[in-house]
Structure 1
Amino acid sequence: MTFLETILGELLQIFKREGIEANSDADLIRKLDIRQSTFHELFSSRENMVKQVILYDIELENRRQQELLAMASNPVEEIMLLLQDGTKTIKQINPVYISDLQKYPEAWQISMQNLIDNNQHVNAEILNRGILQGYFRKDINLQLVTKIILEQFFMMINPASFPPAKYDLSEVFRSIYLYYVRGICTDMGGKLAEDYFSRTNT
Protein backbone atom coordinates (compact mmCIF):
# COMPACT_ATOMS: atom_id res chain seq x y z
CA MET A 1 0.00 0.00 0.00
CA THR A 2 1.36 3.38 -1.01
CA PHE A 3 1.52 6.42 1.26
CA LEU A 4 -1.32 8.05 -0.70
CA GLU A 5 -3.50 4.92 -0.37
CA THR A 6 -2.88 4.91 3.38
CA ILE A 7 -3.98 8.56 3.62
CA LEU A 8 -7.02 7.98 1.40
CA GLY A 9 -8.00 4.97 3.51
CA GLU A 10 -7.79 7.02 6.72
CA LEU A 11 -9.79 9.87 5.18
CA LEU A 12 -12.43 7.42 3.98
CA GLN A 13 -12.90 6.08 7.50
CA ILE A 14 -13.14 9.61 8.94
CA PHE A 15 -15.67 10.66 6.31
CA LYS A 16 -17.88 7.60 6.73
CA ARG A 17 -17.75 7.91 10.51
CA GLU A 18 -18.09 11.68 10.96
CA GLY A 19 -19.17 13.08 7.59
CA ILE A 20 -17.05 15.16 5.23
CA GLU A 21 -17.83 18.62 6.58
CA ALA A 22 -17.29 17.76 10.26
CA ASN A 23 -13.57 18.49 9.90
CA SER A 24 -11.73 21.42 8.35
CA ASP A 25 -8.57 20.82 6.33
CA ALA A 26 -6.59 21.77 9.44
CA ASP A 27 -8.50 19.17 11.49
CA LEU A 28 -7.82 16.50 8.90
CA ILE A 29 -4.12 17.35 8.73
CA ARG A 30 -3.93 16.98 12.51
CA LYS A 31 -5.86 13.67 12.52
CA LEU A 32 -3.77 12.29 9.67
CA ASP A 33 -0.61 13.43 11.48
CA ILE A 34 1.01 14.78 8.32
CA ARG A 35 2.53 18.14 7.38
CA GLN A 36 0.38 20.82 5.82
CA SER A 37 2.74 20.97 2.83
CA THR A 38 2.35 17.20 2.31
CA PHE A 39 -1.43 17.49 2.46
CA HIS A 40 -1.47 20.19 -0.20
CA GLU A 41 0.96 18.23 -2.37
CA LEU A 42 -1.48 15.28 -2.31
CA PHE A 43 -4.66 17.31 -2.78
CA SER A 44 -4.92 20.43 -4.92
CA SER A 45 -8.26 21.36 -3.35
CA ARG A 46 -10.91 19.99 -1.00
CA GLU A 47 -12.95 18.93 -4.02
CA ASN A 48 -9.94 17.06 -5.36
CA MET A 49 -9.44 15.34 -2.00
CA VAL A 50 -13.06 14.15 -1.85
CA LYS A 51 -12.89 12.96 -5.46
CA GLN A 52 -9.72 10.95 -4.78
CA VAL A 53 -11.29 9.39 -1.67
CA ILE A 54 -14.38 8.38 -3.68
CA LEU A 55 -12.30 6.83 -6.46
CA TYR A 56 -10.30 4.90 -3.86
CA ASP A 57 -13.51 3.72 -2.16
CA ILE A 58 -14.91 2.52 -5.50
CA GLU A 59 -11.73 0.55 -6.17
CA LEU A 60 -11.92 -1.10 -2.74
CA GLU A 61 -15.64 -1.88 -3.01
CA ASN A 62 -15.37 -3.39 -6.48
CA ARG A 63 -12.53 -5.62 -5.33
CA ARG A 64 -14.49 -6.65 -2.24
CA GLN A 65 -17.54 -7.35 -4.39
CA GLN A 66 -15.61 -9.86 -6.50
CA GLU A 67 -14.40 -11.62 -3.35
CA LEU A 68 -17.96 -11.72 -2.04
CA LEU A 69 -19.37 -13.20 -5.26
CA ALA A 70 -16.72 -15.91 -5.19
CA MET A 71 -18.29 -17.16 -1.93
CA ALA A 72 -21.69 -17.83 -3.53
CA SER A 73 -22.63 -21.27 -4.79
CA ASN A 74 -25.31 -20.20 -7.29
CA PRO A 75 -26.66 -17.06 -9.04
CA VAL A 76 -29.58 -16.68 -6.61
CA GLU A 77 -27.18 -16.55 -3.68
CA GLU A 78 -24.97 -14.07 -5.59
CA ILE A 79 -27.89 -11.64 -5.94
CA MET A 80 -28.87 -12.03 -2.29
CA LEU A 81 -25.29 -11.60 -1.06
CA LEU A 82 -24.87 -8.39 -3.05
CA LEU A 83 -28.12 -6.91 -1.77
CA GLN A 84 -27.48 -7.93 1.82
CA ASP A 85 -23.92 -6.59 1.71
CA GLY A 86 -25.16 -3.30 0.29
CA THR A 87 -27.62 -2.98 3.14
CA LYS A 88 -24.98 -3.73 5.79
CA THR A 89 -22.58 -1.22 4.21
CA ILE A 90 -25.19 1.54 4.30
CA LYS A 91 -26.00 0.80 7.96
CA GLN A 92 -22.34 1.30 8.88
CA ILE A 93 -22.13 4.77 7.30
CA ASN A 94 -23.10 7.98 9.07
CA PRO A 95 -26.05 9.39 7.03
CA VAL A 96 -24.33 12.80 7.20
CA TYR A 97 -21.63 11.41 4.90
CA ILE A 98 -24.16 10.86 2.10
CA SER A 99 -25.66 14.36 2.41
CA ASP A 100 -22.17 15.92 2.66
CA LEU A 101 -21.01 14.08 -0.45
CA GLN A 102 -23.82 15.67 -2.47
CA LYS A 103 -22.13 19.05 -1.85
CA TYR A 104 -19.30 17.87 -4.13
CA PRO A 105 -21.05 17.40 -7.51
CA GLU A 106 -18.20 15.71 -9.37
CA ALA A 107 -17.49 13.19 -6.60
CA TRP A 108 -21.22 12.56 -6.09
CA GLN A 109 -21.73 11.97 -9.82
CA ILE A 110 -18.80 9.54 -9.94
CA SER A 111 -20.17 7.66 -6.93
CA MET A 112 -23.73 7.43 -8.30
CA GLN A 113 -22.62 6.53 -11.83
CA ASN A 114 -20.45 3.72 -10.52
CA LEU A 115 -23.30 2.40 -8.39
CA ILE A 116 -25.69 2.44 -11.35
CA ASP A 117 -23.25 1.07 -13.96
CA ASN A 118 -21.79 -1.58 -11.68
CA ASN A 119 -25.19 -2.68 -10.40
CA GLN A 120 -26.65 -3.00 -13.88
CA HIS A 121 -23.61 -4.79 -15.30
CA VAL A 122 -23.11 -7.24 -12.43
CA ASN A 123 -26.78 -7.99 -11.84
CA ALA A 124 -27.46 -8.44 -15.56
CA GLU A 125 -24.55 -10.89 -15.82
CA ILE A 126 -25.73 -12.85 -12.78
CA LEU A 127 -29.36 -12.91 -13.93
CA ASN A 128 -28.40 -14.00 -17.44
CA ARG A 129 -26.28 -16.82 -16.07
CA GLY A 130 -29.10 -17.75 -13.68
CA ILE A 131 -31.58 -17.96 -16.56
CA LEU A 132 -29.27 -20.28 -18.49
CA GLN A 133 -28.84 -22.48 -15.40
CA GLY A 134 -32.57 -22.63 -14.73
CA TYR A 135 -32.72 -20.52 -11.55
CA PHE A 136 -34.47 -17.46 -13.03
CA ARG A 137 -37.48 -17.33 -15.33
CA LYS A 138 -36.71 -17.16 -19.04
CA ASP A 139 -39.35 -14.49 -19.70
CA ILE A 140 -37.88 -11.74 -17.47
CA ASN A 141 -36.72 -8.48 -19.03
CA LEU A 142 -33.08 -8.23 -17.89
CA GLN A 143 -32.78 -4.47 -18.34
CA LEU A 144 -36.03 -3.80 -16.51
CA VAL A 145 -35.34 -6.20 -13.65
CA THR A 146 -31.85 -4.79 -12.99
CA LYS A 147 -33.35 -1.28 -12.98
CA ILE A 148 -36.09 -2.32 -10.54
CA ILE A 149 -33.58 -3.99 -8.20
CA LEU A 150 -31.49 -0.80 -8.15
CA GLU A 151 -34.50 1.48 -7.58
CA GLN A 152 -35.75 -0.78 -4.79
CA PHE A 153 -32.34 -0.47 -3.14
CA PHE A 154 -32.46 3.33 -3.35
CA MET A 155 -35.97 3.27 -1.89
CA MET A 156 -34.93 0.94 0.92
CA ILE A 157 -32.01 3.11 2.08
CA ASN A 158 -33.96 6.36 1.77
CA PRO A 159 -34.71 7.52 5.34
CA ALA A 160 -37.71 9.44 4.05
CA SER A 161 -39.27 6.17 2.85
CA PHE A 162 -38.19 3.98 5.76
CA PRO A 163 -37.08 6.05 8.80
CA PRO A 164 -34.47 3.99 10.73
CA ALA A 165 -36.18 4.78 14.03
CA LYS A 166 -39.41 3.21 12.80
CA TYR A 167 -38.26 0.42 10.50
CA ASP A 168 -35.61 -2.24 10.89
CA LEU A 169 -33.57 -2.20 7.69
CA SER A 170 -33.07 -5.96 7.69
CA GLU A 171 -36.85 -6.49 7.84
CA VAL A 172 -37.38 -3.97 5.05
CA PHE A 173 -34.73 -5.85 3.06
CA ARG A 174 -36.53 -9.14 3.62
CA SER A 175 -39.93 -7.71 2.75
CA ILE A 176 -38.71 -6.18 -0.50
CA TYR A 177 -36.28 -8.73 -1.83
CA LEU A 178 -37.46 -12.13 -0.62
CA TYR A 179 -40.73 -11.67 -2.48
CA TYR A 180 -39.33 -9.88 -5.51
CA VAL A 181 -36.42 -12.24 -6.10
CA ARG A 182 -38.66 -15.24 -5.50
CA GLY A 183 -41.05 -13.80 -8.09
CA ILE A 184 -38.41 -13.76 -10.84
CA CYS A 185 -37.16 -17.23 -9.91
CA THR A 186 -38.20 -20.61 -11.22
CA ASP A 187 -39.43 -23.08 -8.61
CA MET A 188 -35.84 -24.29 -8.17
CA GLY A 189 -34.48 -20.76 -7.76
CA GLY A 190 -37.32 -19.69 -5.45
CA LYS A 191 -36.52 -22.55 -3.09
CA LEU A 192 -32.90 -21.39 -2.95
CA ALA A 193 -33.99 -17.81 -2.17
CA GLU A 194 -36.20 -19.00 0.70
CA ASP A 195 -33.45 -21.27 2.00
CA TYR A 196 -31.00 -18.35 1.91
CA PHE A 197 -33.31 -16.12 3.96
CA SER A 198 -34.06 -18.81 6.53
CA ARG A 199 -30.36 -19.68 6.81
CA THR A 200 -29.14 -16.12 7.23
CA ASN A 201 -32.19 -15.00 9.23
CA THR A 202 -32.02 -11.70 7.38
Structure 2
Amino acid sequence: MTFLETILDEILQIFKREGIETNSEADIIRKLDIRASTFHELFSSKENMVLQVTRFDIEQQKREKAELLAKATNPVEEIMLLLVNGINKMNQINPVFIADLQKFPEAWQETIEYVTTDNQQVNAEILNRGVLGGYFRKDLNLQLVTKIILEQFFMMINPAVFPPEKYNLAEVFRSIYLYYVRGICTEAGGKQAEEFFSRNSI
Protein backbone atom coordinates (compact mmCIF):
# COMPACT_ATOMS: atom_id res chain seq x y z
CA MET A 1 0.00 0.00 0.00
CA THR A 2 1.09 3.56 -0.67
CA PHE A 3 1.13 6.11 2.17
CA LEU A 4 -2.18 7.57 0.92
CA GLU A 5 -3.79 4.11 0.67
CA THR A 6 -2.68 3.31 4.22
CA ILE A 7 -4.23 6.56 5.47
CA LEU A 8 -7.46 5.93 3.52
CA ASP A 9 -7.69 2.42 4.94
CA GLU A 10 -7.23 3.69 8.49
CA ILE A 11 -9.90 6.38 8.01
CA LEU A 12 -12.26 3.80 6.46
CA GLN A 13 -11.89 1.58 9.53
CA ILE A 14 -12.64 4.55 11.81
CA PHE A 15 -15.73 5.42 9.74
CA LYS A 16 -17.04 1.86 9.71
CA ARG A 17 -16.49 1.52 13.44
CA GLU A 18 -17.67 4.94 14.66
CA GLY A 19 -19.48 6.63 11.77
CA ILE A 20 -18.32 9.73 9.91
CA GLU A 21 -19.85 12.61 11.83
CA THR A 22 -18.72 11.54 15.32
CA ASN A 23 -15.14 12.54 14.53
CA SER A 24 -14.01 16.07 13.81
CA GLU A 25 -11.10 16.71 11.46
CA ALA A 26 -8.88 17.20 14.51
CA ASP A 27 -10.04 13.85 15.97
CA ILE A 28 -9.14 12.04 12.75
CA ILE A 29 -5.72 13.71 12.54
CA ARG A 30 -5.04 12.69 16.15
CA LYS A 31 -6.16 9.09 15.55
CA LEU A 32 -4.05 8.85 12.38
CA ASP A 33 -1.09 10.27 14.31
CA ILE A 34 -0.04 12.53 11.44
CA ARG A 35 0.62 16.27 11.13
CA ALA A 36 -2.26 18.56 10.26
CA SER A 37 -0.22 19.89 7.34
CA THR A 38 0.15 16.36 5.96
CA PHE A 39 -3.58 15.77 6.31
CA HIS A 40 -4.40 18.97 4.42
CA GLU A 41 -1.96 18.05 1.65
CA LEU A 42 -3.93 14.81 1.15
CA PHE A 43 -7.46 16.20 1.56
CA SER A 44 -8.78 19.58 0.48
CA SER A 45 -11.92 19.29 2.64
CA LYS A 46 -13.96 16.82 4.70
CA GLU A 47 -16.10 16.15 1.62
CA ASN A 48 -12.97 15.37 -0.39
CA MET A 49 -11.71 13.04 2.35
CA VAL A 50 -15.02 11.13 2.45
CA LEU A 51 -15.04 10.90 -1.36
CA GLN A 52 -11.47 9.53 -1.50
CA VAL A 53 -12.26 7.02 1.25
CA THR A 54 -15.40 5.94 -0.61
CA ARG A 55 -13.48 5.40 -3.86
CA PHE A 56 -10.82 3.44 -1.98
CA ASP A 57 -13.53 1.29 -0.36
CA ILE A 58 -15.20 0.59 -3.73
CA GLU A 59 -11.91 -0.54 -5.31
CA GLN A 60 -11.26 -2.79 -2.32
CA GLN A 61 -14.73 -4.31 -2.63
CA LYS A 62 -14.17 -5.03 -6.33
CA ARG A 63 -10.90 -6.88 -5.60
CA GLU A 64 -12.42 -8.81 -2.70
CA LYS A 65 -15.42 -9.80 -4.81
CA ALA A 66 -13.23 -11.11 -7.64
CA GLU A 67 -11.15 -13.16 -5.18
CA LEU A 68 -14.28 -14.47 -3.50
CA LEU A 69 -16.03 -15.56 -6.71
CA ALA A 70 -12.88 -17.30 -7.91
CA LYS A 71 -13.34 -19.77 -5.04
CA ALA A 72 -16.86 -20.81 -6.11
CA THR A 73 -17.54 -24.04 -8.01
CA ASN A 74 -21.02 -23.15 -9.31
CA PRO A 75 -23.39 -20.14 -9.61
CA VAL A 76 -25.37 -21.07 -6.49
CA GLU A 77 -22.16 -21.06 -4.47
CA GLU A 78 -21.22 -17.70 -6.02
CA ILE A 79 -24.49 -16.16 -4.86
CA MET A 80 -24.16 -17.75 -1.43
CA LEU A 81 -20.57 -16.57 -1.00
CA LEU A 82 -21.67 -13.04 -1.85
CA LEU A 83 -24.50 -13.44 0.68
CA VAL A 84 -22.18 -14.62 3.47
CA ASN A 85 -19.68 -11.88 2.64
CA GLY A 86 -22.50 -9.32 2.75
CA ILE A 87 -23.66 -10.57 6.16
CA ASN A 88 -20.11 -10.47 7.52
CA LYS A 89 -19.57 -6.94 6.20
CA MET A 90 -22.83 -5.72 7.72
CA ASN A 91 -21.77 -7.19 11.07
CA GLN A 92 -18.55 -5.18 10.89
CA ILE A 93 -20.17 -1.83 10.04
CA ASN A 94 -21.77 0.59 12.47
CA PRO A 95 -25.18 1.41 10.88
CA VAL A 96 -24.44 5.08 11.61
CA PHE A 97 -21.76 4.94 8.90
CA ILE A 98 -24.32 4.27 6.16
CA ALA A 99 -26.63 7.01 7.45
CA ASP A 100 -23.72 9.47 7.68
CA LEU A 101 -22.47 8.64 4.19
CA GLN A 102 -25.79 9.76 2.74
CA LYS A 103 -25.01 13.28 3.99
CA PHE A 104 -22.13 13.53 1.49
CA PRO A 105 -23.89 13.67 -1.91
CA GLU A 106 -20.90 13.02 -4.20
CA ALA A 107 -19.58 10.09 -2.18
CA TRP A 108 -23.09 8.64 -1.76
CA GLN A 109 -23.77 9.00 -5.48
CA GLU A 110 -20.60 7.05 -6.35
CA THR A 111 -21.62 4.37 -3.84
CA ILE A 112 -25.06 4.07 -5.44
CA GLU A 113 -23.56 3.98 -8.94
CA TYR A 114 -21.26 1.16 -7.88
CA VAL A 115 -24.17 -0.82 -6.44
CA THR A 116 -26.42 -0.22 -9.45
CA THR A 117 -23.81 -0.98 -12.12
CA ASP A 118 -21.10 -3.33 -10.88
CA ASN A 119 -23.17 -5.34 -8.41
CA GLN A 120 -26.17 -5.54 -10.73
CA GLN A 121 -23.98 -6.69 -13.61
CA VAL A 122 -22.25 -9.33 -11.47
CA ASN A 123 -25.59 -10.64 -10.18
CA ALA A 124 -27.03 -10.78 -13.72
CA GLU A 125 -24.01 -12.73 -14.99
CA ILE A 126 -24.21 -15.22 -12.11
CA LEU A 127 -27.95 -15.68 -12.54
CA ASN A 128 -27.59 -16.18 -16.29
CA ARG A 129 -24.91 -18.86 -15.82
CA GLY A 130 -27.08 -20.45 -13.15
CA VAL A 131 -30.10 -20.64 -15.45
CA LEU A 132 -28.01 -22.12 -18.29
CA GLY A 133 -26.47 -24.63 -15.87
CA GLY A 134 -29.83 -25.70 -14.46
CA TYR A 135 -29.25 -24.25 -10.99
CA PHE A 136 -31.79 -21.43 -11.23
CA ARG A 137 -35.29 -21.60 -12.66
CA LYS A 138 -35.55 -21.13 -16.43
CA ASP A 139 -38.58 -18.87 -16.09
CA LEU A 140 -36.59 -16.17 -14.30
CA ASN A 141 -36.84 -12.70 -15.72
CA LEU A 142 -33.16 -11.79 -15.24
CA GLN A 143 -33.69 -8.07 -15.61
CA LEU A 144 -36.53 -8.10 -13.10
CA VAL A 145 -34.73 -10.35 -10.59
CA THR A 146 -31.56 -8.24 -10.63
CA LYS A 147 -33.72 -5.12 -10.18
CA ILE A 148 -35.51 -6.73 -7.22
CA ILE A 149 -32.18 -7.67 -5.63
CA LEU A 150 -31.02 -4.07 -6.06
CA GLU A 151 -34.20 -2.53 -4.65
CA GLN A 152 -34.08 -4.92 -1.70
CA PHE A 153 -30.62 -3.52 -0.94
CA PHE A 154 -31.90 0.06 -0.99
CA MET A 155 -34.80 -0.94 1.23
CA MET A 156 -32.44 -2.62 3.66
CA ILE A 157 -30.21 0.46 4.14
CA ASN A 158 -33.14 2.89 4.37
CA PRO A 159 -33.27 3.91 8.07
CA ALA A 160 -36.93 4.85 7.67
CA VAL A 161 -37.74 1.22 6.81
CA PHE A 162 -35.26 -0.55 9.11
CA PRO A 163 -34.14 1.86 11.87
CA PRO A 164 -30.65 0.66 12.91
CA GLU A 165 -31.46 1.10 16.60
CA LYS A 166 -34.32 -1.38 16.22
CA TYR A 167 -33.05 -3.84 13.58
CA ASN A 168 -29.74 -5.66 13.17
CA LEU A 169 -28.75 -4.90 9.57
CA ALA A 170 -26.88 -8.19 9.18
CA GLU A 171 -30.03 -10.09 10.19
CA VAL A 172 -32.11 -7.96 7.81
CA PHE A 173 -29.65 -8.74 5.03
CA ARG A 174 -29.83 -12.45 5.81
CA SER A 175 -33.63 -12.48 5.97
CA ILE A 176 -34.03 -10.62 2.68
CA TYR A 177 -31.50 -12.45 0.52
CA LEU A 178 -31.12 -15.92 1.97
CA TYR A 179 -34.74 -16.90 1.46
CA TYR A 180 -35.03 -15.08 -1.86
CA VAL A 181 -32.10 -17.02 -3.32
CA ARG A 182 -33.60 -20.30 -2.15
CA GLY A 183 -36.82 -19.41 -3.92
CA ILE A 184 -35.21 -18.95 -7.34
CA CYS A 185 -33.29 -22.25 -7.25
CA THR A 186 -34.26 -25.38 -9.17
CA GLU A 187 -34.17 -28.74 -7.40
CA ALA A 188 -30.52 -29.15 -8.43
CA GLY A 189 -29.73 -25.62 -7.29
CA GLY A 190 -31.54 -26.22 -4.03
CA LYS A 191 -29.34 -29.26 -3.35
CA GLN A 192 -26.24 -27.15 -3.96
CA ALA A 193 -27.62 -24.52 -1.60
CA GLU A 194 -28.32 -27.11 1.11
CA GLU A 195 -24.80 -28.48 0.75
CA PHE A 196 -23.46 -24.97 1.11
CA PHE A 197 -25.60 -24.40 4.24
CA SER A 198 -24.32 -27.63 5.76
CA ARG A 199 -20.71 -26.49 5.29
CA ASN A 200 -21.23 -22.90 6.38
CA SER A 201 -22.95 -21.31 9.34
CA ILE A 202 -25.36 -18.70 7.96
Indicate conservation of the 8 Å contact 2:156/2:172, yes or no. yes
Q: Aligned partners of 1:167, 1:97: CA distance in 2, in Å?
A: 15
Amino-acid identity (%): 73
User: How far, CA to CA, are the matches of 2:146 and 2:16 in structure 1?
Assistant: 27
1:29 is the counterpart of 2:41:
no
The two structures, once aligned, show a CA RMSD in angstroms of 2.1
Distance 2:33 2:58 in 1: 25
Structure 2 equivalent of residue 87 of structure 1: 87
What is the aligned partner in structure 1 of residue 14 from structure 2? 14
Deviates more, 1:118-127 or 1:142-151: 142-151
1:49-71 Cα distance to aligned partner (Å, 9 max, x none) = 00000000001111001111111
In structure 2, give the amino acid aligned to 1:75.
P
Q: Which moved more, 1:100-109 or 1:51-60?
A: 100-109
| 2: CA distance, partners of 1:170 / 1:26 | 32
Give the match's secondary structure for 1:197.
Answer: helix
Using the TM superposition, give the Cα deviation of residue 168 of structure 1 relative to its aligned residue in structure 2, in angstroms.
6.3
CA distance in 1: counterparts of 2:170 and 2:27, whole angstroms: 35
The code of the aligned residue for 2:119 comes to N
Cα shift readout 1:141-187 (whole Å, capped 9, x = no counterpart): 11111111222334445565556777666665554444422332221
Unaligned runs of 5+ in 1: none
Residues 168-187 of structure 1 aligned to structure 2 (within 5 Å) = 172=172, 175-187=175-187
Residue of structure 2 equivalent to 1:101: 101
- Distance in 2 separating the partners of 1:9 and 1:57: 8
- Contact 1:178–1:193 (CA under 8 A) maintained in structure 2: no
TM-score (norm 1): 0.90
Tell me: CA distance 1:169–1:12, structure 2 relative to 1, closer, same or farther (3 Å). Answer: closer
TM-score by length of 2: 0.90
The count of corresponding residues between Structure 1 and Structure 2 is 202
Alpha-carbon contact 1:76-1:130 (below 8 Å) kept: yes
Q: Per the alignment, do residues 34 and 79 of structure 1 end up closer, same or farther by CA in structure 2, a change over 3 Å counting?
A: same
Q: Does 1:75 align with 2:68?
A: no
Change (3 A) 1:155 1:198: farther
Deviations 1:16-49 (A, max 9, x none): 1111111111111111111111111100111000
Q: Distance in 1 between matches of 2:125 and 2:62?
A: 15
In structure 1, the residue matched to 2:44 is 44
Unpaired runs of at least 5, structure 2: none
List 4+ stretches of structure 1 deviating above 3 A.
Answer: 153-179
Supply the distance in 2 between the matched residues of 1:138 and 1:116 (Cα, whole angstroms).
24
- Matched-pair contact (CA < 8 Å) for 1:178–1:197: no
